[in-house]
Chain A
């Protein structure tokens, strides 16, 4: 089952994909080591994925597959999934340039055409866990993972949603936290999703996950990014703008 937003978000991402890759591909395509999020902090520092050699890994919302290419080079058997055909065209180009090959799946993470219990790691970095309905993706991730498997994903925090005003971060609460679910601010852009912290935890538990960690990312002083203005990065030094959930399937 997919939400009606999955059609809208496919169209939206097909539309913004070229511009997105032109702006960010070089920044997020560095090949030295796996890095997370808006400020590209190393996985080795954050302790999220760790060793992937020999593991079956699914990336939910792989975009141009910068992450999957890196994990494939480190010995993972990866599958990249994206809801946007245009994003997957960029992925094929990047894979050809990197001389690596792995399956790409054109589908919404709300309804993944892959078998039960076939992955050790399901993850994304500002991917489908942002652009799909978590009430559909969390059960899908649970279905796809083997027992003991890892669900890890980064996304924007509920804080930044509550403090977002006129296309920037305010130093005050401007919108309610309770009831947070579907964020539809700008009609031409993809719909985003988020939940209150307690509701994330309830949903993880309901679908057989144990919460291992919530890493609230604090960018180092002067951290560079193609995603945020320097003022926003400065805001993120005081309040959490980006966070990474780490859950194990029991």
Chain B
């Protein structure tokens, strides 16, 4: 059992115990899917090409949830390990592994304090995992520790533009155009009627956190509503996401 959790990790662990059930259908859909597609916008990896060739690589997914990203990478020949703090999410991941006959290690831990050895991975990934639920300085430091020299880090988060325009109301309404909160000081978010805590940084702060932990920034892919087959989303409208970045992916390489 994870010990010495941060206050936000304890709260997020409790929140995810309650949410896990709702995420089962999504897990089933994503596990059944062959093509890698990123984020709520489902931008195909084939289009984005942000991942390196993962065949034969050691990959850790930080905040894997139901571990569908790990499953996608395992099918492409990676030796993956999924790390998540929610026992309930990991239970879904284990059930999916059984149903799909695809086994890989799942570790019950916070991505802020991972019980795995230094320099043991070639790639660390996080899609709405540690990337938004953990303190950026803590989980990026862990990613740096876990990666081998020249190892790569790829993660997906909400765009800063979205975080400035998302109303703090329950039930959720899509982002509008009004700037509802300041950009300066943006980091730790608490929402009305929601026990969880998430973290979001501006552009300059992401560059600062990455470089200060020994990463070199290689790419920022700002995901745009692909237009074709534009779905319906909860957090933003298709039209909004054609104009402003609702989601973004960072790619960095460990250099120091």
Which of B164, B182, B203 contacts A197 (CB under 8 A)?
A: B203
Interface stretch of the complex, out of B31-39, B120-128, B132-140, B243-251: B243-251
B51: Cβ under 8 A from any A Cβ:
no
A235 nearest CB across to chain B (Å)? 9
Beta-carbon nearest neighbor of B210 in chain A: A211
Say yes or no: A172 contacts B178, CB within 8 Å: yes
Say yes or no: B177 contacts A173, CB within 8 Å: yes
A219 nearest CB across to chain B (Å)? 10
A20: Cβ under 8 A from any B Cβ:
no
Say yes or no: A216 contacts B217, CB within 8 Å: no
B-contacting residues, A156-213, CB 8 Å? 159, 162-163, 171-174, 176-178, 196-198, 201-202, 205, 210-213
A86 nearest CB across to chain B (Å)? 35
Please tell me the number of chain B residues within 8 Å of chain A, measured between CB atoms. Answer: 29
Interface stretch of the complex, out of B75-83, B96-104, B191-199, B219-227: B219-227
> CB-CB < 8 A to A210: which residues of B?
216
Say yes or no: B177 contacts A216, CB within 8 Å: no
B186 nearest CB across to chain A (Å)? 10
Range class of the A interface residue count: 20 to 34
Overall SS of chain B's interface: mixed
A239 nearest CB across to chain B (Å)? 5
Beta-carbon nearest neighbor of A202 in chain B: B219
B179-209 vs A, CB cutoff 8 Å, 1 = contact: the mask equals: 1001110000000000000000011100110
> CB-CB < 8 A to B217: which residues of A?
201, 211
Say yes or no: A240 contacts B183, CB within 8 Å: yes
- Once the chains are docked, how many angstroms separate the CA of A174 from the CA of B177? 7
A218 nearest CB across to chain B (Å)? 5
> CB-CB < 8 A to A238: which residues of B?
179, 182-184
Say yes or no: B161 contacts A243, CB within 8 Å: no
- Once the chains are docked, how many angstroms separate the CA of A174 from the CA of B161? 12
A222-250 vs B, CB cutoff 8 Å, 1 = contact: the mask equals: 00000000000000011110010000000
Say yes or no: A216 contacts B219, CB within 8 Å: no
Most chain A CB within a 10 A radius of its CB, from B179, B211, B217: B179
Overall SS of chain A's interface: mixed
B168: Cβ under 8 A from any A Cβ:
no
Beta-carbon nearest neighbor of B178 in chain A: A172
A97 nearest CB across to chain B (Å)? 37
> CB-CB < 8 A to B179: which residues of A?
163, 171-173, 238-239
A21 nearest CB across to chain B (Å)? 31
Say yes or no: B220 contacts A197, CB within 8 Å: yes
B242: Cβ under 8 A from any A Cβ:
yes
Say yes or no: B183 contacts A177, CB within 8 Å: no
- Once the chains are docked, how many angstroms separate the CA of A243 from the CA of B222? 19
A215: Cβ under 8 A from any B Cβ:
yes
Given the known inter-chain contacts A172-B177, A216-B203, A216-B204, please indicate yes or no for A178 contacting B220, CB distance below 8 A.
no
A214: Cβ under 8 A from any B Cβ:
yes
A16-53 vs B, CB cutoff 8 Å, 1 = contact: the mask equals: 00000000000000000000000000000000000000
A-contacting residues, B54-91, CB 8 Å? none
Most chain B CB within a 10 A radius of its CB, from A174, A201, A213: A201
> CB-CB < 8 A to B177: which residues of A?
172-174
Say yes or no: B161 contacts A213, CB within 8 Å: no
Say yes or no: B178 contacts A171, CB within 8 Å: yes
Say yes or no: B219 contacts A205, CB within 8 Å: yes
- Once the chains are docked, how many angstroms separate the CA of A31 from the CA of B199? 42
| Chain B residues close to A by CB (< 8 Å) | 161, 164-165, 176-179, 182-184, 202-204, 207-208, 211, 216-222, 224, 242-245, 248
| Chain A residues close to B by CB (< 8 Å) | 159, 162-163, 171-174, 176-178, 196-198, 201-202, 205, 210-216, 218, 237-240, 243
11 contacts between A and B (CB under 8 A): A173-B243, A176-B243, A177-B244, A178-B222, A178-B244, A196-B245, A210-B216, A213-B207, A214-B203, A216-B204, A239-B179
Interface contacts beyond A172-B176, A198-B221, A210-B216: sample of 12 additional A-B pairs, CB < 8 Å, sorted by A? A162-B244, A173-B161, A176-B242, A177-B161, A177-B244, A178-B244, A197-B203, A198-B248, A205-B219, A211-B217, A216-B183, A238-B184
